[in-house]
Structure 1
Amino acid sequence: MTEKQCVILTSALKSNPSHLRELDLSWNKLGNTGVKHLCEVLKDSHCKLERLSLQNCGITDVSSLTQSLTNSKALQFLKDLDLSMNKIGDSKQQLSDVLRDSNCDLSVDNKLFTRRL
């Protein structure tokens, strides 16, 4: 799946996001633009996504994801976020900070950072 195809998928998911609990788009060429489009689903107040896996998707910046999680109810439901095998660099710290007080486990660089206390 490419960034363009992600636009089509996002449109379909936005039509009824309340049933979506798990989404695994690992090993697709989504890139930062594809992730930005997926964030539109997370912003929907009916979205109750619990697991999102985006392993090896060519993501280098997760600022749009961080912003979506900050400005939505998504963190109430999200329990597992896997961004392994992406080169997200400095944006990893921003995302970790947002998830710090949530019940979401973050996986990056093949490591699991548990945020639960």
Structure 2
Amino acid sequence: MQQQQQQQQLQSTDSGSRGKARSSDKASSAYASRHQAAEQRRRSRINDRLDRLRACVPHQDRANTAAFLDEVIKYVQSLQQRVRELEAAVGVPSTIPEAKAHEAYPAPSTSAAETAFLRIERRSVETGKLAELV
């Protein structure tokens, strides 16, 4: 009789601990699904911003994201250089601060003739064609 009572107590203790394990599994599963949804929203926002950036900056269509961002950095630096040259030609002090954060990406070397004919293009979101903005 005592053995039966002890076995019943052990079984009830075991089932109670299993119930707690299940509830913690449910909590961790809920956390994982919330985290996964938040991560998906973050990736979606990043991809949206990259698509918008691709629409504004001329680039090679087959470039991966890292190569595309390299192209963006070089393009922005070339635009900054062009602004400095135009400001110097007009005699206005430069409004572009010198880039210090990205010293690993030196400004592209372009001749005065090349920068004089620099065309700013953007890809039209609607048509996918390049539109000249000069």
- Shorter-chain TM-score tier: under 0.3
Higher strand proportion: 1
TM-score with structure 2 setting the length: 0.22
